[in-house]
Structure formats: C-alpha cells, structure tokens
Structure 1
Amino acid sequence: MTEIYIDMRTYRRVAFGGCAFSAIGVVGSFTSGSHAAALFFSALVLGSLYLAAASGAYTISGESLSYSSKLGKWQISWGDISSAEYSAMGPLLLIGNTKRFALAPPAWWPRSCRDEAVRYVAQQMSARSIAKKISPTADYKWMKNTRI
C-alpha cells in the first residue's frame, strides 16, 4: 500500500519570514513614535505566527487523506468523496456529503514527492470515478466536518 507524506515546510518558511519582517516593522515603528503602524505590524506578526502553526503535513494513502498541524488534525476517507473542485490557483477541494477537505496547491509541495503525489491523487480519483470541476471559489473554501 502506498502512503505519501507531504510536509508543508514551505508554508512555515514563508510564515516565519513574514513574522521576522513584521517584527522589524514593529520595532522600527514603535521607536519612531508611530504607534498605529506598530499596531499594524503587530497584527502581521500574529497572523504570521498563526500561519506557521497552521502549516503541517498531508498524508495520502489508499484509504484516506489527512492533514495534521499544531492546530489539529483533519481526515477524509476516499469513500466519502463524491466530487472535487479546483481552481487556476491550484488548490483541490474534495467534497463529500457534508464534508470538505482542502489540498494545498501542488506548487507548494516539496519537489521530492510532488509528481508522485499528484499522480497518486489523480489515480485514486479516477479509480473511484470522482467527478471534478473548475470552480472560481475553490481558493476560498476551508475544511469542513473533517476534524478528528
């Protein structure tokens, strides 16, 4: 049985870079007396820390797909999926009866497993006759009813 592990370390790197940049903005703004700008940069620091905590890892197997991060774990079985939506930006939404599981764009996946993982997901969708359609709103949807 195949199991593919996709660590979203690129998200973490971008988040920590944003945190460092924003922290410099907080210090610079505060020392220059611009407290409103310091408050803005503080919000960016908090947002970056949230993104770092939310970046985790996908595990794709023959039975299910899962995502785990510091904020929790989400999972959906292939049998629960009835359709899929994707957009030009790259995310793939796997949709079940009352469930929704979001796969990040493959462009953000590590190169070492990207091609194999894309092929495997396409293979699983084809084997299960999961219909896919393009959707302009696929970029803005979150996981739903898949937290475990």
Structure 2
Amino acid sequence: MNRWFFITTMLLAFSAQADEFVIEKTAKPRTIRLVNEDTAASFFQISRADLPPRSIGVPMQVEQLSWQTTHYPYPGINETIKVCYYPYGDLPQRPVICDTQPATPAGSSDLFKGQPFAYESQIKIHHTVRGSRQTISPAGHDRLTLRISR
C-alpha cells in the first residue's frame, strides 16, 4: 500500500511540474532627446509575484516570447527594434540573447525557446531612433507575453 502511495505521489508531483503558465507585461520606453541617434528601452523585470505558487527552485524554460511594440510617430526619423532576453538578469558577464531584426512590430521568435527562466530573468525591447534634432515621445506602450514551462 505504501509503495502505491509513493508511486502515485511521485507521478502527481511530476505532472504538476510539467505545466505551462503565461506572464504578460507592459512598459513604456522613455522620451528621447534626439541628436542624430539615441536608444530607449522598455524594461520587463520578472518578479516572484509573476510566478505561480511553488515555482521558486523549479527548473523552468521559455517556450515562447511574443511582443507588440510601440513606435515614435515623428516624420523624418528611422527606428529599429531589438528584443533582448537576459536569462540571469542584466549584469556584466551574464549571457544575453538578442533578436536584432524583428520582422514586424508584433511578433515572436524561436531564438528564445528553451532558454532557462527564473524570477531574475529580464527582457528589454530597445528602440534605436535616428533623425534630426528633436524631443520625441513614444506613441504608446510595449507589450510582452512569455509562455513558460516547468
């Protein structure tokens, strides 16, 4: 009887670990005082409150990272987007994975699939803007959706 209880408990624990969850975040890049070129970023910090209960210490990985970016709606400027994932936080000597050519302002990339994920992970959407001297503000917010498995 005890052996069946142990096996059942282990199977339930294993199946509970194999689920997925979604984190959605919104952030706004800063206003830019443009002198030829400048970069602004939306910062997406993952906190423990973003994670489901009993997730701390459980190995997790990114299944999908999707985004929808805002833009700087001003004539005569050129804007490029770069989406970067920091699995262990944005600190020196820590790895970073960047999609430097997102095809559209709304999309996803397989580049981040399988990357380790934890509460210190960060995502940044960089807006690099080139153009004439002016102060410009973003039209809205950047949105991010992370699908995580554990």
TM-score, with structure 2 as normaliser: 0.29
Larger relative contact order (CA 8 Å, sep ≥ 6): 2
User: Larger Rg: 1 or 2?
Assistant: 2
More helix per residue: 1
More strand per residue: 2
TM-score, with structure 1 as normaliser: 0.29
